[in-house]
Structure 1
Amino acid sequence: MKYRDMNYRYIYLIFSKTGTWLSRALSVFAESKYVHTSIGFDDSFNKMYSFGRTNPDNPFSGGLVEESLYGGVYKKFTNSECVIYKVRVTEEQYNNLQEEIQYFLNEKDKYRYNFIGLFGVLFNAPLKRKNHYFCSQFVSEVLIKSSIYEADKIPELISPDDLLLIEDKELVYEGFINDYYRFGNIYSFV
C-alpha cells in the first residue's frame, strides 16, 4: 500500500517468550524463539491486547487479556524476552483495528483461551472453537479484518513466526523485557 498524501499511524506487535510452562513447551515443539504475540496502539506498552493468562498465577485461567510489559506475567517471569516492531498503517486501518479490538473487549468475559487450537497449528489442522482464541489467532484475525495483514493461512493456523514475516515493520527493541523497563526505551528506534 502506498502512503503518499495519506495520514498514517503506528501499531505495535510485541513477540515474547516468558518462561511459563506453556511458553517453554511451545518453544520446544514449535522450535520458535518467540511463542506469544500481542498488539498495542502506543509505545508505552502499558496496554497491549492478546489471549493469554487472565491470572498470572494460574496457568489454566486463559482468555482475552489486556497486558502490560510492566506487570502481570512479564513481571512474574523476570527473564522474559521480547522483540517489538512498529507497523505503519493508514488512519482508516488504525481506526478499524481499534474497532475490532473494542468488539472483543465489549464481551471480554465470553472469550476463552484456545489450548486445543495450539495443537491444530502444530499439526496443520485448524481447530476453530466458538469464542476461543490463542494469541496469534487473535492478533492475525484482527489484523486481517482491519486490512493490515494479508495471509495465505486462516487465523487458526497462524503462529507468531508467521506474524514475524509481516513486511514493512520497523524494529523497536529486542532483548530482555526487564532491561527495557529498567533502563527505559534507550534501545528504542522509535
Structure 2
Amino acid sequence: MNNKNKKVYVLLSDTGSWLSQCIKWYTDKPLNHCSIVLDEDLNEIYSFGRTRDMHPLAGGFVKENLEGDLIRSPFRPTLGALYSCEVSEEQYSMIRRRIQYINKRKDSYKYNLLGLFGIALKVRIERNQAYFCSQFVAELFTYAGVELFEQAAEWIAPDDFRKCSRLKLEYKGDLRLLAADRRLPYAQTLWNTRVS
C-alpha cells in the first residue's frame, strides 16, 4: 500500500434481525447486512439499519457497535467477513465527510425498504434520502470516485461486495473474535491459525 493511501473496510454480517432473516431466506446467502468501517480498530462502523430494537421496520442511518449491534449473542458464533479497499487520502476524506453530512441530518434519512423490493422484483425504485445497507455503502464509494461496480448502487446487494475483485478479504469467521480485541491484525492471526 502506498504511504499516501488509506484503507476503508466493508463488513458483511448476519445480524440475526427479523429483516435479515427474511433477506437470508430470499437470497440464500449467509451474510445479509453490510456496513462501512473507517478504522482498523473497528470503532467507526456505519450503515443503514434498525434504529429501534423493538421495531423491526424503523430504520435509518446508524453508527454501529461491534459488540452490541452486530453480534447476536455472546455465546453463539456470529458469522461475518471483513474486506478492505485501498483508497487515496482524498477519497477517504470524501467518504468521511459524506458520512458526517448524513449523520448531522440523520433524521431526514430513512431506510429504503422499497428499494429491497425493487431488487427482488428487478424494478428500479429511486428514493431521495433513503438507503438500504448495501446501497449506502456502494453509494459512498461511488461518491468518492471509487468504482467497485458497473451497476448503480440501488442494485447492489451485500453479497456483491463478497464477489468484488477490488476488495481484499481481511477476516472471515466469528465476529466475536474481532470484538474481543478490536485489532484487526490480532483477529487475522487467530483466523489464519485456524484456517491453516
Q: Is contact 1:70–1:181 with CA below 8 Å preserved after alignment?
A: yes
Distance across 2 between alignment mates of 1:87 and 1:154: 19
Report what 2:56 is aligned to. 59
Q: What amino acid is the match of 1:108?
A: K
Cα RMSD for the two superposed structures? 2.1
Q: CA distance change for structure 1 residues 12 and 165 in 2, over 3 Å: closer, same or farther? A: same
Distance across 2 between alignment mates of 1:10 and 1:158: 21
Deviations 1:86-131 (A, max 9, x none): 1111111111111221221121111111112111111221211222
Q: TM-score, normalised by structure 2?
A: 0.85
* TM superposition shift of 1:73: 4.6
* TM superposition shift of 1:171: 2.1
Report what 2:45 is aligned to. 48
Report what 2:193 is aligned to. none
Q: How does 1:23-172 map to 2 (within 5 A)?
A: 23-74=20-71, 79-172=77-170
Q: Is contact 1:46–1:70 with CA below 8 Å preserved after alignment?
A: no
* TM superposition shift of 1:84: 0.5
Q: What amino acid is the match of 2:152?
A: I
Deviates more, 1:70-79 or 1:28-37: 70-79
Q: Is contact 1:173–1:187 with CA below 8 Å preserved after alignment?
A: yes
Q: TM-score, normalised by structure 1?
A: 0.88
Q: Is contact 2:16–2:72 with CA below 8 Å preserved after alignment?
A: no
Deviates more, 1:171-180 or 1:80-89: 171-180
Give the gaps of 5 or more residues in structure 2.
190-196
Q: What amino acid is the match of 1:118?
A: L
Report what 2:187 is aligned to. 187
- In the alignment, does 2:24 pair up with 1:16? no
Q: Secondary structure at the match of 1:51?
A: strand
* TM superposition shift of 1:72: 2.6
Distance across 2 between alignment mates of 1:151 and 1:180: 28
Deviations 1:156-176 (A, max 9, x none): 111112222332333221112
Identical aligned pairs, as a percentage?
32
Q: Is contact 1:49–1:66 with CA below 8 Å preserved after alignment?
A: yes
Q: Is contact 1:69–1:75 with CA below 8 Å preserved after alignment?
A: no
Distance across 2 between alignment mates of 1:73 and 1:180: 11
Deviations 1:134-171 (A, max 9, x none): 00111111111101124221111111122223323332
Matched residue count = 186
Q: Is contact 1:56–1:73 with CA below 8 Å preserved after alignment?
A: no
Q: CA distance change for structure 1 residues 73 and 151 in 2, over 3 Å: closer, same or farther? A: closer
Q: What amino acid is the match of 1:52?
A: G
Q: Secondary structure at the match of 2:7?
A: strand
* TM superposition shift of 1:49: 0.9
Q: Is contact 2:60–2:111 with CA below 8 Å preserved after alignment?
A: yes
